């Protein structure tokens, strides 16, 4: 019987034997809590009757049915093989508990607990644990499978492949590698690939880039606006150029895109601040942009923001720093008087669309390395052209000596140079 105190009924500990889900509420002994429904109810006046009434409620009955249909968590943790169960005390205890219950049932029914009965029970328990383990494996995501899916998504981003094409290739992997567990467990459809790229890979690389930039002392900011016909807005792309200490060279990376309606100097500067997202404007040492006056105003506004003491001076090499540097490199080449560009251009035209000459060159030098084309706009890129010319110069000499009539080859070089001029 419930103990009464001044007409009030308190929670009794022996109720847990009949109602395992009933718990005493700390600080309020006249209330009880249901661990299944996660609700608290009063037993102040009704006592045990209130607990019985709660057990007959629709919500509580539904919870009990759900638990009865669900397998206990310890059954999922049982190993699929007896050898692994022998090495795990918890799993061994779980199996022995099931075995004991089966043996007790056999004894109650009057069946002899001989070795044959024991072996049959063990076989039954082992078969059930193998089935449970097999069912549970499909809910586990392997690290190797996740890594393969991420790599495949990155591969499709780099190759600009369609999402449907990437998904169909994953289905093809199962046919190509039928015994490979990684290929058979990859689950990538077009929607999942899109989610992995947008919400998985993109935030990771964005965070990695910003972490790298925070360790840089300075960087160059490049921006350009163009009309986005789909969004009907001005799309401004932001690129950063900085010195990467891990690879010891200058690196150019895309940062983000910002969409604008009005493209005044103030709006563009605000968009740049939003795009940098936590990166200090004091680290910007140069703006790389094209020639409109609005971009020149952005540079002036940025200089005003950096007027604080200790801020580095913004490097101003014109409205378009890219062309300015290229033209400075071009002027340096011209001032040497060595006619390097003319020689490289003539060397390229000597083998351009001339399969006979190319065949004689390969035969004489035993090399398939040919001159590169000279760029008349991006002059800094001609450093690769001149480097290639230096590397193949011995092969060109072998080609000239192998061709009958050296004067004919020199005449070809002279003709190519005249065609260029």
Tokens for 69, please give them.
């249909």
Question: What CATH number matches the domain at 220-319, 3.90.550, 3.30.420, 2.60.40, 3.30.870?
Answer: 3.30.420
Least confident of 8-22, 65-79, 105-119, 127-141: 105-119
* pTM for the structure as a whole: 0.51
Quick count: other Cβ atoms within 10 Å of Cβ 271?
22
Q: How wide is the angle at C-alpha 39 spanned by C-alphas 38 and 45, nearest 5°?
A: 145
Q: Each residue of 55-112: pLDDT tens digit?
A: 888 888 888 888 777 766 665 554 444 444 444 444 444 544 544 454 444 444 444 4
- How far, in Å, are 9, 15, 32, 33 from residue 4 at the CA level? 5, 15, 16, 19
Q: How far apart are CA 69 and CA 71, in angstroms?
A: 7
Asked whether the predicted pLDDT for residue 281 surpasses 50, the reply is yes
Burial readout 350-376 (b: 16 or more C-beta within 10 A, e: otherwise)? bbeeeeebbebbeebbeeeebbbebee
Q: Compute CA distances 273 → 219, 277, 280, 302, whole Å.
A: 15, 6, 9, 10
Residue 28: partners with Cβ closer than 8 Å, 6 or more residues away: none
Tokens coding 185: 């467990």
For residues 106 and 263, the model is more confident at: 263
Sign of CA dihedral 42, 47, 49, 51: positive
Based on C-alpha coordinates, what's the Rg of the chain? 39
Domain ranges of the chain: 4-69, 75-137, 146-206, 220-319, 334-420
Please tell me the predicted confidence (pLDDT) of residue 392.
92
């Amino acid at each position: 019987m419930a103990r009464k105190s001044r007409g009030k009924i308190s929670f009794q500990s022996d109720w847990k034997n009949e109602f395992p889900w009933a718990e005493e509420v700390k600080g309020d002994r006249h209330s009880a809590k249901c661990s299944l429904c996660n609700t608290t109810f009063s037993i102040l006046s009704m006592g045990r009757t209130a607990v019985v009434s709660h057990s007959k409620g629709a919500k509580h009955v539904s919870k009990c049915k759900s638990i009865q249909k669900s397998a206990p968590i310890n059954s999922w943790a049982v190993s699929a093989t007896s050898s692994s169960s022998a090495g795990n005390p918890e799993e061994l205890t779980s199996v022995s508990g099931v075995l004991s219950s089966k043996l007790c049932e056999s004894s109650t029914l009057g069946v002899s607990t001989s070795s044959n009965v024991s072996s049959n029970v063990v076989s039954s328990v082992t078969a059930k644990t193998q089935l449970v383990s097999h069912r549970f494996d499909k809910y586990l995501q392997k690290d190797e499978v996740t890594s393969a899916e991420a790599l495949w998504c990155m591969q499709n981003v780099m190759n600009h492949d369609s999402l449907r094409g990437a998904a169909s290739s994953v289905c093809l992997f199962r046919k190509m590698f039928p015994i490979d567990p990684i290929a058979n467990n990859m689950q990538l459809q077009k929607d999942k690939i899109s989610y992995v790229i947008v919400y998985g890979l993109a935030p990771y690389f964005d965070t990695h880039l910003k972490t790298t930039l925070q360790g840089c002392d300075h960087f160059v900011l490049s921006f350009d606006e163009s009309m986005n016909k789909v969004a009907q807005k001005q799309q401004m792309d932001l690129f950063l150029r900085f010195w990467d200490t891990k690879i010891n060279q200058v690196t150019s990376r895309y940062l983000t895109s910002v969409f604008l309606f009005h493209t005044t100097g103030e709006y563009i500067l605000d968009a740049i601040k939003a795009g940098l997202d936590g990166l200090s404007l004091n680290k910007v040492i140069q703006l790389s942009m094209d020639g409109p006056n609005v971009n020149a105003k952005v540079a002036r506004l940025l200089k005003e923001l950096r007027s604080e003491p200790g801020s580095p001076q913004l490097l101003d090499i014109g409205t378009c720093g890219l062309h300015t540097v290229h033209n400075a490199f071009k002027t340096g080449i011209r001032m040497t008087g060595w006619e390097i560009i003319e020689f490289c251009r003539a060397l390229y035209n000597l083998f351009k669309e001339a399969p006979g000459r190319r065949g004689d060159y390969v035969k004489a030098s035993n090399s398939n390395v040919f001159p590169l084309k000279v760029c008349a706009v991006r002059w800094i890129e001609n450093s690769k052209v001149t480097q290639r010319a230096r590397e193949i110069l011995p092969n060109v000499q072998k080609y000239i000596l192998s061709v009958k009539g050296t004067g004919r080859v020199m005449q070809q070089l002279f003709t190519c140079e005249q065609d260029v001029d």
